[in-house]
Amino acid sequence: MHPVDKYLSRYAEPEASEHNVEHRYDHVLVIPARAESAEKLLKVWHKVKGNYLVIVVVNCPDSGPDATTERLAAGLAQANRANLVIVDRYSRGRRIPIRQGVGLARKIGCDLALSLIHRGIIDDPWIFTSDADVRLPANYFDLPASVRESSAATLFPFHHVTTPELERACRAYELSMLYYAAGLRWAGSGYAYTTIGSTMAFSADRYAGVRGFPKRNTGEDFYLLNKLRKSGPVSCLTGPTIEIEGRLSERVPIGTGRAIARLSQETEARIEHPKCYEVLKATLSWMRDIAAAQPRHPATGDPRVDDILEDSGFFQHYETKRDQSPAARVMQKHLEDWFDGLKTRQFIHRLRDRHFGEVPIHATGKIPFAPDADEPSTLLETCRKQVFTA
């Protein structure tokens, strides 16, 4: 059975087969929406050129009715856009379990998009997903052929547009994400990308192959990309840039809105000590070496790293795989998949918490992957260029 047929028959949400679309479209965009105004939401794709379908999953949690979301659905229906499909997950009996939240909403929309691609209604075999707080560029769907051919997913560059009161917090939030991704790229990690759900596009086939978005109320973008990366590269585009509204929000336990709220209350933002990334770089190089030589009972030579790897179960996994006598490339792929985006983040955090701490963004010291950045603004732009590069 083809992976897409298997996914649609076994793992897709019911909405994947509940909506018929009369016309054919070149592209498809999926947006989960809750407690927004219809007027604002319709502006998300207002500038985008082309023949495309927009799937909006209007949703609210099963904890109770949401008058704002009901007005959103009514406003979208009144707009009467031919290229708009509205999926009802806000009505009584159709609301989303609170613990599944935006993850389930994205999965519903993307499962429907996948079905329409599979049925030949959508020509482009890539799914684009965004959010209600963005403005998409005119050439949004113009992905380079090289990205479509070689990547499992891709990320658009982004910039937060906000009020003067939140400007400092938004730039600090961008810096924290881009500094982390740039550090991973410099260290040689395959998981060196940002993880913002409103800036993602991915292969429909690869999406089906990893069984879609995880049904969770936060982090669904991170975990989908983590799965997709194991099926192929995740690339970062040089452009066009997506504008994201920088605003306060407590809708999900973690995310942009809460991070901006926290940073707006801090006197000075802080980031991981650059030494964390130097140690990661050395550790990844060591992993490549042992994948080739496959010694028994290896050690890095750095007790701090050995302790963290032991705590994470790395050595046990390595020995189990080694006993199977794999080829070097097979062992390398196994270690890359095991030491994935989640374990890499945990590794950096343990280095930070146990050994190196954080540094204020105005006094970072020497950063090996941004040696000429002497203030937060130049560090931000240096990291942005390193992440979103050809």
Query: How many CA atoms does the CB half-sphere of 172 hold within 13 Å?
Result: 24
Instruction: Taking residues 368-383, report their average pLDDT.
Output: 95
Contact 204, 16 (CB under 8 A): no
- pLDDT over 70, % of the chain: 96
Q: Is the pLDDT of residue 250 over 90?
A: no
How far apart CA 374 and CA 349 sit, in angstroms, is 24
Q: Name the E strands within the chain.
A: 27-33, 52-59, 84-89, 126-129, 134-135, 153-155, 158-161, 200-203, 234-236, 242-245, 270-272, 358-360
Instruction: Taking residues 7-23, report their average pLDDT.
Output: 95
* Rg of the chain taking only CA atoms, in angstroms: 22
Q: Is the pLDDT of residue 222 over 60?
A: yes
Domain coordinates in residue numbering, the chain: 3-271, 274-356
Structural tokens at position 270: 């802080």
Q: Is the pLDDT of residue 162 over 90?
A: no
DSSP code at position 380: H
What pLDDT is stored for residue 248 in this prediction? 56
Over residues 113-122, the pLDDT tens digits come to 999 999 999 9
**Closest among 5, 14, 209, 7 to 119, alpha carbons compared:** 5
pTM for the full predicted model: 0.95
What pLDDT is stored for residue 139 in this prediction? 98
Q: Is the pLDDT of residue 213 over 60?
A: yes
The one-letter amino acid at 236: C
**Closest among 24, 232, 239, 225 to 142, alpha carbons compared:** 239
Contact 27, 50 (CB under 8 A): yes
Topology of the domain comprising 3-271: Spore Coat Polysaccharide Biosynthesis Protein SpsA; Chain A (3.90.550)
What pLDDT is stored for residue 255 in this prediction? 63
Q: Is the pLDDT of residue 251 over 90?
A: no
Looking at per-residue confidence, does 251 or 121 come out higher? Answer: 121
Structural tokens at position 167: 């400007």
How far apart CA 171 and CA 133 sit, in angstroms, is 17
The one-letter amino acid at 171: R
Q: Is the pLDDT of residue 252 over 60?
A: no
* Confidence at 165, pLDDT banded by 50, 70, 90: confident
Q: Is the pLDDT of residue 343 over 60?
A: yes
- pLDDT over 90, % of the chain: 88
Q: Is the pLDDT of residue 164 over 90?
A: no
Over residues 79-115, the pLDDT tens digits come to 999 999 999 999 999 999 999 999 999 999 999 999 9
For the chain, give the mean pLDDT. Answer: 94
Paired with 110 in beta bridges are none
How far apart CA 347 and CA 171 sit, in angstroms, is 25
- 325 three-state secondary structure: coil
Q: Is the pLDDT of residue 196 over 70?
A: yes
Over residues 31-65, the pLDDT tens digits come to 999 999 999 999 999 999 999 999 999 999 998 77
Instruction: Taking residues 358-363, report their average pLDDT.
Output: 95
What pLDDT is stored for residue 1 in this prediction? 78
Instruction: Taking residues 244-267, report their average pLDDT.
Output: 68
What pLDDT is stored for residue 257 in this prediction? 66
* Confidence at 66, pLDDT banded by 50, 70, 90: confident
* Confidence at 389, pLDDT banded by 50, 70, 90: confident
The one-letter amino acid at 18: E
What pLDDT is stored for residue 142 in this prediction? 97
